[in-house]
Amino acid sequence: MNYIIPQSELKVVGTRPVRPDGVDKVTGRATFGADMTLAGMIWGKMLRSPHAHARIVAIDTSRALALPGVRAVVTAADFPDIASEEAFVGEGPMNFRDLSRNCLARDKVLYEGHAVAAVAAASQSVAEAALDLIDVTYEVLPHVIDVEAAMAAGAPILHEDMFTVGIEPKPTKPSNIAKRVAFAKGDAEAGFREADVIVEGRYTTQPVHQAYIEPHACLAQVAADGQAHIYSSTQGQFMVRAYCAKVLGWEIADIRSYPMEIGGGFGGKTLVYLEPVALALARKAGRPVKMVMTREEVFRASGPTSGAVIEVKIGARRDGSIVAAREVLKYQAGAFAGSPIGPGCMCGFAMYDLPNVDVVGYDVVSNRPKVAAYRAPGAPITSFAVESAMDDLARKLKIDPLALREMNGARDGSKTHYGVTHRDIGFLATLEAARSHPHYSAPLKPGQGRGVACGFWFNIGGESSGAVHVNEDGSISVVSGNPDIGGSRASMAMMAAEVLGVPIEHVRPIVGDTASIGFSHLTGGSRVTFATGMAVTQAAERVVDQLKQRAAQIWEIPAEAVEWKDGKAYPAGLNAGAFEPLSLAQIALKAGRTGGPISSEVTLNAQGAGPGFGCHICDVEVDSETGHVKILRYTAVQDVGKAIHPSYVEGQIQGGAAQGIGWALNEEYIYDKDGKMENAGFLDYRVPVASDLPLIEAVMVEVPNPRHPFGVRGVGEVPIVPPMAAVANAIRAATGLRMPDLPISPPKLRAALDAASGAKAA
């Protein structure tokens, strides 16, 4: 592959400049979703179900409407009852009927926290008081929280029209199992018969929330002619526009969607919760309406990702070669179908070259909030099980765990169990980097343990737009359609600066609203640096072509006789040295005389995002008195393609690892017997804090993706895949205990330690 600029000649890409939006973010100037105000703005609040499962018999809003200061109340009756329509939009499967019913419940509430009605009032306190005056009559129904209980015969059924897809013959009775999926390669049964050693396990994971620090927030305004503006904290302004139009039955062109700064998303802000409701309230009230979730609402009604039960079995010959693998996965979808069961079925064994594989997955609804995407959706859950089992296998075979993975690791030409043949991948390079890292051979003290685990993610491309404008003074504006969630302004500006040959300081990146730049899929799936970066790079190349052509006009020579170097036009060939080089500013000054503004917007649907692989090494120490696990040292090795801004690539890896450590040790949704969440706050839903973690070393292995002009691969998803098994394997090494149920919280581990020592004593 020809990269557009040889790696050795890169001047901007691969450096670590201060991000262009940095000063705004360290001084408090950056405007996030809840920071926006408009003249005449009032406040919206949501009434939510206190029940896990109930029929809505009646909603009486008259007392609320009579309260002074209340301007509008809406319920599902104010929205069209839209038909079931499956779509795959940006980040995952979506049924618009479900989306609508998740925004405001119709007929039934399906989980505690499910939105039932909304009110807009002059102040927050009046809006809150009005919620108490909305009278909802419920007929409480039996509920089900646990995934296997939801699958069992006789379980309370959430959707009378849900019949399991993927079973022949088509079922005649409704079920909470939305879908069964299966993948097979070779003959797993026969494979297991050849195995000398077999490991088996049953693993469980709990739903965890993306836990972005910024709660969902938006501000909506609707003019008398129906033209609307929506300002929101979202991973995709075009997604907000499309989903709102769908749920409200409006035309897309009537909605202009503005992306505010976004305070974290990790997949959790890839759908709408408040926005259509705020628009409906704003239309009814004739005033701009701001809605901001509380943290409690964020936990009860948005996100999380699936909890799951996974059974895994792996068989190998005595030399370590794996002959068969089997997995059964049951993923919670929350109240509506659509867990990441597909990637769950594919990712666990994707890293290995296996002759015989059998994987079956179930997508299961229960009375919990509808799951949303969370970093590498589906992959961390399956990999927790598979990588734990791989550790057991290495132990049984007395083979180094990385050597076992190298022996069976996927390489170019390896055919996965889902049929795709790997190409241009860096798994073995990643394993090699992990094996040769000093951490892997560093001595441990008694009572300490080391674990390793690996992870895979596909990465995606998708539809993106990028525009490069040469301003009148020669400075550059770069516009993209993707909210900057972790430094993408910097990487867009850097790629444009590299192509244009100008210092990064002359390039100002802008995140455009839906009327300022072409359609773009949302920021997610680690696609922006890859796909939007491709659009920006191509736009910059076209601008260079224009600049050369303009210089040629000024010099009255053919455009082919102009060379672009270091941000300047040089006469080349026969004309070399005939004219003084022209700077960007000099050419920009004559733009009007040479044909008009110099700019280019490229829209594309990027294909060929290269998959990424990670290998994490984790050292722990277990306090046998309390069951507390201290992470002593953590190293995350990852195949990153090409790091545009290495600091932000490292940041993705470190942040993903930290989230995975939280998933492994602390985070979970806890329900009481009535199906109500008991820990809907950061005090009881404990995400890792600074004192929980050591420095996290991120090791970047650069195996360029030949289908990107700079070799970029997505990097944000992979790092959350390995940590749970890396931590569990380290605990196994330190204590001798295989902990198959997440989170491995202190009480759980202490009980296991006590049981083990009791068993020993007895």
| Stretch 274-333 residues interacting with another protein (CB under 8 A) | 292, 294-295
Unique residue bearing structure tokens 């069951």: 627
Kindly state whether residue 18 participates in binding another protein, applying the rule CB under 8 A: yes
Residue range at the interface with another protein (CB under 8 A); choices 99-107, 313-321, 555-563, 642-650: 642-650
Does 236 help bind another protein (rule: CB under 8 A)? no
Residue 459 makes contact with another protein by CB under 8 A? yes
Residues 188, 349 contacting (CB under 8 angstroms): no
- 83 is a site residue for another protein (CB under 8 A): no
For residue 157, list its beta bridge partners.
Answer: none
Amino acid at 589: L
Q: Using CB under 8 A, which of 111, 183, 250, 336 touches another protein?
A: 183
CA nearest to 5, candidates 581, 566, 647, 531:
566
Stretch that binds another protein, among 57-65, 111-119, 306-314, 454-462 (CB under 8 A): 454-462
Please tell me the distance from the alpha carbon of residue 123 to that of residue 290, in angstroms, as a whole number.
10
Q: Which is nearer to another protein, 393 or 698 (CB)?
A: 698
Which residue, 68 or 747, has its beta carbon nearer to another protein?
68
Binders of another protein among residues 376 to 435 (CB under 8 A) are: 376-377, 416-424
**Choice from 238, 362, 427, 648 touching another protein (CB under 8 A):** 648
Residues 517 to 536: which contact another protein by CB under 8 A? 524-527
Q: Are strands 42-48 and 289-292 parallel, antiparallel or unpaired?
A: parallel
CA distance linking residue 490 with residue 749, whole number of Å: 43
Closest approach, Cβ 88 to another protein, in A, equals 5
Cβ nearer to another protein, comparing 451 with 655: 655
H helices of 71-144, in order, are: 96-103, 124-131
Give, for 244, the enclosing helix (H) or strand (E).
Answer: helix 237-248
Residue 482 or 549 having the CB closest to another protein = 482
For residue 122, state whether it binds another protein (rule: CB under 8 A). no
Distance between the two ends of the chain, CA-based, in angstroms?
65
- Report the residue from 215, 307, 369, 675 that binds another protein according to the rule CB under 8 A: 215
Strands (E), 296-405: 308-316, 322-334, 357-365
In this complex, which beta carbon is closest to another protein, that of residue 346 or of residue 495? Answer: 346
Between residue 535 and residue 564, which ones bind another protein under the rule CB under 8 A? Answer: none
373 near another protein, judged by CB under 8 A: yes
Q: Which of residues 605-624 bind another protein (CB under 8 A)?
A: 605, 607-609
Cα separation of 383 and 348, whole Å? 5
Question: Please, which residue, 221 or 491, has the CB nearer to another protein?
Answer: 491
Q: How far is the CB of 111 from another protein (least distance, A)?
A: 21
Angle at 280 between CA 278 and CA 285, to 5 degrees: 90
Q: At what angle do helices 533-555 and 488-500 cross, to 10 degrees?
A: 30
Q: How far is the CB of 123 from another protein (least distance, A)?
A: 9
Query: How many C-beta atoms surround the C-beta of residue 618 within 10 A?
Result: 33
The 3-state DSSP class for residue 556 equals coil
CA separation for the pair 79, 614 (Å, rounded): 45
Q: Which residue, 275 or 717, has its beta carbon nearer to another protein?
A: 717
Among 140, 213, 442, 755, binds another protein (CB under 8 A): 213
717 binds another protein (CB under 8 A): yes
Q: Does residue 460 bind another protein (CB under 8 A)?
A: yes
Say how far apart CA 555 and CA 348 lie, in whole Å: 61
Identified binder of another protein from the candidate list 44, 340, 355, 426, rule CB under 8 A: 340
Nearer to another protein, 567 or 656 (CB): 656
- Rounded Cα distance between 497 and 486, Å, is 19
> Binding residue for another protein (CB under 8 A) from 348, 487, 567, 612?
487
Per-residue CA distances from 490 to 20, 433, 510, 567 (Å):
6, 28, 10, 19
User: Tokens 């090699």 label which residue?
Assistant: 432
**Region near another protein per CB under 8 A, out of 147-155, 540-548, 549-557, 644-652:** 644-652
| Torsion sign across C-alpha atoms 470, 473, 476, 480 | negative
Positions in 35-54 near another protein (CB under 8 A): 35, 37
Out of 51, 52, 79, 93, the only residue in the binding site for another protein (CB under 8 A) is 93
Round to whole Å and give the CA distance between 267 and 269: 6
Q: Which of residues 560-599 bind another protein (CB under 8 A)?
A: none
Q: Which is nearer to another protein, 123 or 436 (CB)?
A: 123
1 sits near another protein (criterion: CB under 8 A):
no
Cα–Cα distances in Å, from 661 out to 91, 309, 456, 463, 666? 24, 19, 17, 33, 8
Q: How many residues at the interface with another protein, by CB under 8 A?
A: 119
**91 touches another protein by CB under 8 A:** yes
Q: Are 270 and 91 in contact (CB under 8 A)?
A: yes
Query: Is residue 378 within 8 Å of residue 344, measured between CB atoms?
Result: yes
Establish if 626 lies at the interface with another protein (CB under 8 A).
Answer: no
